[in-house]
Amino acid sequence: MTDSTNTTSSNVDIIKLTAAEIAAAIAAGELTAVEVTEAHLARIGAVDEKVHAFLHVDREGALAQARAVDEKRARGEKLGPLAGVPLALKDIFTTKGVPTTVGSKMLEGWIPPYDATVTARLKAADVVILGKTNMDEFAMGSSTENSAYGPTGNPWDLSRVPGGSGGGSSAALASYQAPLAIGTDTGGSIRQPASVTGTVGVKPTYGGVSRYGMVAFSSSLDQGGPCARTVLDAALLHEVIAGHDPLDSTSVDEPVPAVVEAARNGSVDGMRVGVVKQFRGEGYQAGVVQRFDESVALLKELGAEIVELDCPSFDLALSAYYLIAPSECSSNLARFDGLRYGLRIGDDGTHSAEEVTALTREAGFGDEVKRRIMLGTYALSSGYYDAYYGSAQKVRTLITRDFEKAFEQVDVIVSPTTPTTAFPIGERADDPMAMYLADLCTIPTNLAGNAAMSLPCGLAPEDNLPVGLQIIAPALKDDRLYKVGAAVEAAFVERWGHPLIEEAPSL
């Protein structure tokens, strides 16, 4: 990735700029928003047939948004910090007049009549929305292989997964099809894709970004957040989409943390950084552990105090998550009944309403969605609620308490983002448990509602694929993520250069 601020009209030069550089060039009149948008649309046209990051490219809509930005600048109006910057939007956010499928046949062809709050805030900030990105169906998965429209490839190696559920957004960033993207994180679906594609992904504090208009998977866990190629770009996007929303009852009515200021003034000097012993051991790839240990050593060199932590309940997080999340999904997905909107099968006058619902759900939902609905319905059923769902919620409380105790001793916690680098497409498709283990390090944060970030910390020596460093902060202390992340990123770039590929051989 280039660090140059000398922009030219060449598409190659434009797509390699950061979001901050693009916004500055547009504001200064060195580039037009239309030029920038056309460069990224050309890139999508050149490589996305191989990557399959996008489910829908809104070419006309994006160019119209870009022209509006250029007209504002021509009139002398003040432009926002991301005006004219293109963005790839995960296909889980409703977008007025643009298809929203959530990666499922159940909503194939559905055109929402309204914008999600995140979508509306992006438009209000003059961010140019290029289109909607591929994802595991209803955000259920860690690889995009559960998308009804086929998997996305990892630009580092198209035979490997780009993570999930938001693999389309992360792949769009890594393949330079967009400088910014939006994802959602229920158990790691922003951070895990960021880790395996060498990009930056942030799960804000639960309630920090509105869920209004975001198709629900697990309401107490889902959280939208920013995805980018640099920590500063993620912070700029975070400020655009965050903040209280009266349309969302789970929205936090608190000021947005000063994340951009933190990203511009990164430092770990004097900070206490925790390392949890439960976040390593069997199942962790040797190269991932090596890069993580190097990252911890680097933090110490930069002036941080390293504190060993013991959080025993974290070992139970995966089990608790896969009771809570399916239980909530079984409730949320009951609305897709074939009667109100979306797919409808069997409505030919010969079937009852119940039969139409059954036929529609059979045809509309994929295997993983059906698996989780059945698990959740069972866990919530009479006679099993206390034994399963109730017990999982008690474990959730223990995890939250472990975090609270940890944050009495440290300012942030670090860990590997994922136990392994990107695995081959198809390798875990028939083994749900192996797939679920991809979120081993990320799930505890969702259960507690804390903030977390993944950023690149180098390549694993055995396969030359990206490794992610996870930073976890207390709730409403999202700025600590950016303060630490910016310091680590700057040190990595100074010593080893940015690990993101200049051009994937397969593209």
**Closest Cα to residue 485, out of 268, 237, 209?**
268
189 catalytic residue (yes or no): yes
Instruction: Name the 3-class secondary structure at 471.
Output: strand
* C-alpha torsion 471→474→477→479, nearest 10: 0
203 catalytic residue (yes or no): no
Q: Give the active site residue among 142, 143, 147, 165.
A: 165
Q: What share of the chain is helix, strand, coil (3-state, %, to 5)?
A: 45, 15, 45
175 catalytic residue (yes or no): no
**Closest Cα to residue 492, out of 302, 238, 307?**
302
What single-letter amino acid sits at 321?
A: Y
Instruction: Name the 3-class secondary structure at 174.
Output: helix
**Closest Cα to residue 54, out of 159, 134, 135?**
134
**Closest Cα to residue 136, out of 57, 190, 179?**
190
Phi and psi, residue 442, nearest 5° = -95, -30
Radius of gyration (C-alpha) of the chain in whole angstroms: 22
**Lookup: tokens for 167:** 């693999």
Q: From edge to edge, which strands make up the β-sheet containing 128-133?
A: 54-57, 128-133, 86-90, 180-184, 224-228, 200-203, 451-460, 465-473, 412-416, 272-276, 305-309
Task: Identify any residues that bridge with 228 across adjacent strands, giving them in sequence order.
Answer: 180, 200
Q: Give the active site residue among 142, 147, 169, 189.
A: 189
Whole-angstrom distance, CA of residue 249 vs CA of residue 213? 12
State the CB neighbour count (10 A cutoff) for residue 415: 28
CB burial of residue 249 (10 Å; 0-12, 13-18, 19+): exposed
Instruction: Name the residues annotated as catalytic.
Output: 90, 165, 189
